[in-house]
């Protein structure tokens, strides 16, 4: 129940929020192939790829509530090999999904006692794509601006008139009920916080002395100047290797993920343009050969019951959102404008539609908007408030949130298409 900043931003589009909450609740809290603690740890791994502290902090707490082993929060070296083997596909999906092959799938499904089942892998893939795309939304809408667990940060203040946020979702019974449950969970979490603090403090005490001695030894070996440099680096996203991730600070507050690097390997691996001019043309993914509607939906729904229907509803919901104001300002029909954004995002991941004239993208999307979309989609951790403010200054905040929802869903579908196609090829 700690997605306040995200749900407030999505609250500008209540129908979409309802669909999003249903999907996320099903992924994280309903019956499925994966244990609940593993689901949240996979979410931590996915969010860490984009240095998204907001989501990592959220899922660290939920991981512990689900009965997860606190030792796992020390990093990938402390988790079961089965989960650790997911790291490669997590890295590729997050940054260059077109590199995923059936060999990656085969490796996960055929590792003796650490092997994944097809159903488990599909659940994991959907979780990874969901959290990668949600990280884009978090950075795109400024929810990462406040690193506190409540996540109050946003780039613009809400303007829902005299309504409170919950009232803004009136008519969506599921949203209202889930938000009521989330408020109750937030109250319950206050009572749980003392218990969580004790658990985190216990882990901290167990390793504090050893880490302190190691750092002191390092200071003596590298000299005073180098030691000071290490101290400064400890405040960055990557911190000092080996330090415990979530700790209790001096005020007794839980501060998660001081060192996101412990949750990933090869941190320098990032997005590269799909078709670089100095390289041979990479194989293009053609939707006519493998699409969500004709292939992905049935596969994911068969291996992970009902999730296909929820994802499909969410894709359709974002496509059906009203955007007449955006389109009018660009001088085109709403469907044309939205398709331009969607196809531009897919194009950056090497996905092409044979029936689309890509010259329209340059006509519909001004350069500053394209820069914003590419940043939020491909390397969201580089997004800042200035970029958000600069594009479409004359547009309402809700219209900018709409663009971020399109980014979220288009990116998620792109990752799923590549992963599900690889799974299909393996099954064949």
pLDDT tier for residue 276 given thresholds of 50, 70 and 90: low
Proportion of the chain above pLDDT 90, given as a percent? 55
Structure confidence at residue 87 (pLDDT): 95
Buried b (16+ CB within 10 A) or exposed e, 338-377: bbbbbbbbbbbbbbebeebeeebbeebbeeebbebbbbbb
Q: Calculate mean pLDDT across residues 40-62.
A: 96
Angle at 88 between CA 83 and CA 89, to 5 degrees: 90
At residue 185, does pLDDT exceed 60? no
Strands (E), 22-147: none
C-beta separation of 147 from 53 below 8 A: yes
80-85: long-range pairs with CB below 8 Å, 24+: 80/114, 81/111, 81/114, 82/111, 82/114, 82/115, 82/116, 83/38, 83/41, 83/42, 83/45, 85/111, 85/114, 85/116
For position 414, what pLDDT does the model report?
A: 97
pLDDT value at position 54? 92
Name the E strands within 9-159: none
Question: Rounded CA gap, 397 and 242, in Å?
Answer: 41
Does residue 223 carry a pLDDT above 70? Answer: no
- Of residues 357 and 253, which shows the higher confidence score? 357
SS3 248: strand
Tally of residues, the chain:
428
The answer on pLDDT for 349 being more than 60 is yes
pLDDT tops 50 at residue 360 = yes
- Is 52 designated active site? yes
Q: Which helix (H) or strand (E) holds 265?
A: none
pLDDT category at 193 given cuts 50, 70, 90 is very low
- Give the three-class secondary structure for 399: helix
| C-alpha–C-alpha distance, residues 135 and 6, integer Å | 10
Least confident range from 147-156, 235-244, 292-301: namely: 235-244
pLDDT band for position 396 (cuts 50, 70, 90):
confident
Q: CA 226 to CA 22: how far, in whole Å?
A: 50
Report whether pLDDT(18) > 60: yes
Phi, psi (5° rounding) for residue 384? Answer: -135, 170
pLDDT value at position 166? 29
At residue 348, does pLDDT exceed 90? Answer: yes
pLDDT digits (tens, 9 = 90+) for 128-140: 999 999 999 999 9
Catalytic residue among 52, 131, 141, 378: 52
DSSP, collapsed to helix, strand or coil, labels residue 351 as strand
Q: For residue 428, name the pLDDT band (cuts at 50, 70, 90).
A: confident
Average pLDDT over residues 382-398: 81
pLDDT of residue 78: 96
Task: List pLDDT tens digits, range 322-341.
Answer: 766 666 666 777 788 899 99
The pLDDT of residue 330: 66
Residue 298 CA to residue 396 CA, distance in Å, equals 38
CB count within 10 Å of CB 221 equals: 9
Instruction: Please list the residues that pair with 255 across neighbouring strands.
Output: 247
Q: Please state, rounded to an integer, the average pLDDT across all residues of the chain.
A: 77
Does pLDDT of 234 surpass 50?
Answer: no
Instruction: Give mean pLDDT, residues 402-407.
Output: 95
Hunting for tokens 């059936």 — which residue is that?
102
- Specify the higher pLDDT residue, 348 or 255: 348
């Amino acid at each position: 129940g700690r997605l306040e900043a995200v749900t407030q931003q999505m609250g500008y589009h209540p129908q979409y929020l309802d669909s999003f909450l249903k999907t996320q609740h099903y992924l994280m809290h309903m019956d499925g192939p994966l244990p609940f603690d593993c689901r949240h740890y996979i979410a931590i791994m996915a969010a860490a790829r984009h240095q998204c502290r907001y989501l990592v902090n959220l899922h660290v707490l939920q991981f512990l509530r689900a009965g997860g082993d606190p030792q796992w929060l020390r990093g990938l070296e402390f988790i079961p090999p089965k989960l650790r083997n997911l790291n490669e596909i997590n890295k590729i999906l997050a940054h260059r999904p077109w590199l995923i092959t059936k060999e990656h799938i085969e490796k996960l499904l055929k590792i003796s006692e650490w092997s994944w089942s097809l159903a488990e892998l599909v659940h994991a893939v959907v979780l990874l794509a969901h959290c990668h795309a949600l990280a884009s939304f978090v950075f795109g809408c400024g929810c990462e601006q406040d690193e506190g667990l409540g996540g109050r940060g946003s780039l613009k203040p809400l303007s829902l008139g005299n309504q409170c946020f919950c009232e803004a979702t009136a008519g969506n019974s599921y949203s209202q009920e889930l938000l009521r449950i989330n408020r109750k969970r937030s109250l319950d979490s206050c009572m749980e916080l003392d218990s969580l603090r004790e658990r985190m403090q216990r882990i901290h005490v167990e390793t504090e002395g050893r880490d302190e001695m190691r750092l002191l030894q390092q200071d003596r070996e590298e000299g005073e100047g180098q030691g000071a440099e290490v101290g400064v680096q400890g405040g960055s996203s990557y911190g000092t290797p080996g330090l415990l991730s979530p700790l209790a600070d001096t005020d007794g507050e839980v501060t998660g993920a001081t060192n996101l690097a412990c949750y990933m390997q090869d941190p320098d691996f990032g997005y590269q343009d799909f078709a670089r001019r100095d390289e041979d043309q990479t194989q293009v993914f053609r939707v006519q050969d493998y699409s969500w509607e004709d292939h992905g939906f049935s596969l994911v729904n068969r291996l992970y019951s009902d999730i296909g229907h929820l994802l499909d509803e969410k894709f359709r919901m974002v496509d059906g959102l009203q955007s007449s104001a955006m389109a009018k300002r660009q001088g085109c029909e709403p469907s044309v404008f939205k398709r331009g954004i969607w196809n531009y995002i897919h194009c950056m991941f090497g996905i092409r539609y044979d029936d689309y004239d890509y010259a329209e993208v340059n006509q519909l999307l001004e350069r500053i908007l394209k820069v914003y979309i590419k940043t939020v989609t491909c390397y969201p951790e580089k997004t800042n408030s200035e970029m958000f403010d600069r594009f479409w200054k004359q547009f309402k905040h809700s219209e900018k949130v709409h663009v971020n929802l399109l980014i979220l869903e288009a990116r998620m579908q792109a990752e799923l298409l590549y992963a599900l196609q690889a799974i299909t090829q393996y099954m064949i």
